[in-house]
Amino acid sequence: MKKHNFSAGPCILPQSVFKQASQAILDFNNSGLSILEISHRSKDFVSVMDEAQKLVLDLLNLEGKGYKALFLQGGASTQFLMTAYNLLENKAAYLNTGTWSSKAIKEAKLFGDVEEVASSKDENFNYIPKNFNVPADADYFHCTSNNTIFGTQLKEFPTTGGIPLVCDMSSDIFSKKLDFSKFGIIYAGAQKNMGPAGTTLVVIKEEILGKVSRQIPSMMDYKTHIDKESMFNTPPVFAVYTSMLTLKWLKEKGGIEAIQKLNEEKAALIYNEIDRNPLFEGFAAVEDRSIMNATFNLKDEKYKSLFEDLVKAAHINGINGHRSVGGYRASMYNALPKESVEVLVNVMKELETQA
Ligand code: PMP
């Protein structure tokens, strides 16, 4: 039986995408060949890459605005260093909202000065710091839009003047509308809202490049990948193909605007129950709650095994919290049906009845 999958990532993708992707492994485009056995330089695959790049810029409303979409490898973790490699000449400004921001800061320090403009570490990252200043002499400002582990999300981005805004959107890209043209670089590991693990999306405004004096190794240089249309080396063909299918699914569903409405409905369902049910409490500050990852705890641990038995019986998967937070985390990415959230909410209600 298919599970209700709240996994934090890799996570649920649309069922139709799983079907199409598995078909392409057996026979891609009725070619008599698997997508896994054809050249990445073949016409068929080049058109997959082109379409994936076009869909990204189209969905983000960035077509014709000087942006390129790249499908790279090495995960979002490689972007922690690649962003700094390509942009950090003297000093960069970072907002520290959790584990992933902290890791990005650590890598950037290898390349220059890092000013941490604000941090919510004092409260185990359960809120988003506000009212910080971005120094005017920074080469760029870096933030994490959605903190997958802690369940917080930036609702506003600072105005940075001419300073490029660099954002790790790994866990909320394509989930809600933003003015994406405010950003110099957006990066995201594919394995939440875009596709399987194995590729990383980098959307980059070309004009912000070429400002650092250091030599950049070819694979670390965004310019290399832009010049070679994201085909400098063999791209992760299956991850790119499956991402393209997921992006197409999103566009057919009505794009980001339509999915945002659904995501907000799903988030309202679970947060209303967390706030209503006397047995539970939320982890993240209410005003900073993520619409992708809802973090919550049982007020009394004595109900833990009963709750977890009910969860299991309802075929729910993946709601254990990250080890640094504990408790529970319901990740509700784009492809998670609203019915799955209803099933989880009913389990929370059932616990209240049985407790
Ligand atoms: N940033 C965020 C916000 C994440 O959620 C994750 C992974 N969960 C990462 C970065 C690291 O991504 P990767 O494993 O692709 O390196």
pLDDT of residue 332: 98
Pairing between strand 316-317 and 113-119? unpaired
pLDDT for 121: 98
Binding-site residue set for L-glutamate? 41
- Fold classification of 255-354 is Aspartate Aminotransferase, domain 1 (3.90.1150)
CA of 355 to the centre of ligand 1 (A): 37
Domain-wise residue ranges, the chain:
15-252, 255-354
**Model confidence at 1: pLDDT above 90:** no
CA 16/CA 20 separation, integer angstroms: 6
Segment 34-61 shows an average pLDDT of: 98
Q: Ligand 1 centre from 158 Cα, in Å?
A: 22
What is the three-state SS of the chain? CCCEECCCCCCCCCHHHHHHHHHHHHCHHHCCCCHHHCCCCCHHHHHHHHHHHHHHHHHCCCCCCCEEEEEECCHHHHHHHHHHHHHCCCEEEEEECCHHHHHHHHHHCCCCEEEEEEECHHHCCCCCCCCCCCCCCCCCEEEECEECCCCEECCCCCCCCCCCEEEECCCCCCCCCCCHHHCCEEEEECCCCCCCCCCEEEEEEHHHCCCCCCCCCHHHCHHHHHHCCCCCCCCCHHHHHHHHHHHHHHHHCCHHHHHHHHHHHHHHHHHHHHHHCCCEEECCCHHHECCCEEEEEECCHHHHHHHHHHHHHCCEECCECCCCCCCEEEECCCCCCHHHHHHHHHHHHHHHHHC
Q: What is the ipTM of this complex?
A: 0.99
Q: Which of 95, 100, 107, 142 to mutate to test the pocket of ligand 1 (most atoms within 8 A of CB)?
A: 100
Q: Is 171 in the pocket of ligand 1 (CB under 6 A)?
A: yes
Q: Residue 134, Cα to own-chain centre: how many angstroms?
A: 24
Give the C-alpha separation, 277 to 284, whole Å: 16
Q: Which two tokens stand for residue 26?
A: 């057996």
Q: Please tell me the pTM assigned to this model.
A: 0.98
80 CA closest ligand 1 atom index: 10
CA neighbor of 108 nearest in space, from 126, 122, 96: 96
pLDDT tens digit sequence for 264-308: 999 999 999 999 999 999 999 999 999 999 999 999 999 999 999
What mean pLDDT value characterizes the chain?
Answer: 98
Query: Which CATH architecture group holds 15-252?
Result: 3-Layer(aba) Sandwich (3.40)
Q: What is the pLDDT of residue 209?
A: 98
Q: Tell me, using a 6 A CB cutoff, whether residue 74 lines ligand 1.
A: no
Q: Is the CB of 236 under 6 A from ligand 1?
A: no
List, by residue number, the catalytic residues. 100, 168, 192
- Tell me the pLDDT tens digit for each residue of 151-183: 999 999 999 989 999 999 999 999 999 999 999
Q: Using CA positions, which residue lies closest to atom 12 of ligand 1?
A: 76
pLDDT tens readout for residues 104-143 = 999 999 999 999 999 999 999 999 999 999 999 999 999 9
Tens-place pLDDT, residues 321-345: 999 999 999 999 999 999 999 999 9
Closest protein CA for atom 3 of ligand 1:
170
pLDDT for res 216:
98
pLDDT at 146 over 90: yes
Nearest atom within ligand 1 for CA of residue 78: 16
% of the chain at pLDDT higher than 70? 100
Residue 147 CA: which ligand 1 atom is closest?
Answer: 3
Binding residues for pyridoxal 5'-phosphate: 76-77, 100, 148, 168, 191, 233-234
184 CA distance to ligand 1 middle (Å) = 19
With 90 as the cut, is the pLDDT of residue 2 above it? Answer: no
